[in-house]
Amino acid sequence: MSAPAPRASEEALIARYFAPLAGPGGLALADDAAQLSPSPGHDLVLTADAIVAGVHYLADDPPASIARKALGVNLSDLAAKGATPRGFLLTLALQDDWTEAWLAEFARGLGQASTALGCPLLGGDTVRAAGATLVGVTALGEVPAGGMVPRMAAQVGDRICVSGTIGDGALGLRVLQGVDTWTARLNEEARAHLIDRYRHPRPRLALAPILRRHARAAMDVSDGLAGDLAKMLRGGGRGAWVSVPILPLSEAAHAALREAPGLIDTILTGGDDYEILCAVPPDRVDDALAEAGAAGVSLSAIGVVTADGDAPAFTMSDGTERRFAAGSFSHF
């Protein structure tokens, strides 16, 4: 429809940057489709998430970080479903002023993440974006047949658990935006930690088998703890009570809260956590927490599923109770 850009062809770019990342099913990216089948006795689990410059990441984020984030947010979904990654397809829509230097760094970061997470490239498409760059990933994982952990099956009395720490990603974005005065008062280590957490989701793949064994329901926290907890419990007249003082926070988040206590709202409702939120029957909580610790990922009980059909209730450090409107944050 329009003249090709005076740069390498799509085919040349794929051969140079992406073919080296291809797994066996990707056929060296030299065919028109990839092949993949689940291991015997397993189901495939599929998820697709795209990130867009200026919406899900900052346009001047390092290209290797953008690649790592695009893969990470998808594998975070697989981990929450109890799935082991098998491979991914990439849809890369490049804005008009892309450079080969950017693409080389992007591919390098993608290759590192792909190797580290055990998830090879299977195929994809590279197009002109006619606007901001978009990185879309479709990730495929597998679970033992029938073993996918659902989002919606929590029962009253189940303990609500989260992995890692909450709020770092949303605070990291605020640090990068540099508008709030509190961000300047953090030390360099805290700032670096929060930025790293915003840029580099850590899909909690080590939790996948533990979720399959012990969790009744799970999802990843990508749009804020309060909103995603409400999503997990939607329908069926269930609610939740969460104790904010016991929420797992990083040192950096604690430091930010000391500077600006109102940031607790950002921590509870901001996006970009990419931690696991799950509902675990009471008699399984001790095992789940212990096994997670042994697998190198902290898992913390923060509340309980109730028969209260309202938005989840959060008891704050000062003893007051708050409820946040569901969907208070959206990447859309």
Binding residues for substrate: 56, 272, 329
Q: Count the site residues for a copy of itself by CB under 8 A.
A: 72
Which SS3 state, helix, strand or coil, does residue 284 take? helix
Return the range that interacts with a copy of itself (CB under 8 A); candidates 91-99, 101-109, 255-263, 305-313. Answer: 91-99
Whole-number Å distance between alpha carbons of 255 and 245: 15
Output the smallest distance, CB 285 to a copy of itself, in A.
22
Residues 48-67, one symbol each (x = binds a copy of itself by CB under 8 A, - = not), give xxxxxxxxx-----------
Which of 19, 62, 95, 182 lies at the binding interface for a copy of itself (CB under 8 A)?
95
Residue 197 vs residues 3, 62, 145, 300: alpha-carbon distances, Å? 40, 14, 33, 18
Structure tokens belonging to residue 116? 């580290």
Convert residues 24-43 into a mask of x (bound to a copy of itself by CB under 8 A) and - (unbound). Answer: -x-x--xxxxxxxxx---xx
d(CA 284, CA 62): 41
Closest CB 211 distance from a copy of itself, rounded Å: 12
The reply to whether 46 sits near a copy of itself by the rule CB under 8 A is yes
Query: Which amino acid is present at 25?
Result: G
> With respect to a copy of itself, which residue has the nearer C-beta, 58 or 304?
58
> What residues from 203 to 242 belong to the interface with a copy of itself (CB under 8 A)?
219-220, 231
- Residue length, the chain? 332
In terms of C-beta density within 10 A (0-12 exposed, 13-18 middle, 19 or more buried), how is residue 214 classed? buried
Cβ closest to a copy of itself, residue 45 vs residue 186: 45
Residue with tokens 């212990």: 290
Question: Could you tell me which residues are annotated as the binding site for ATP?
Answer: 124-125, 151, 222
What are the structure tokens assigned to 259, written together? 């500077």
* Interacting positions 168-207 with a copy of itself (CB under 8 A): 173
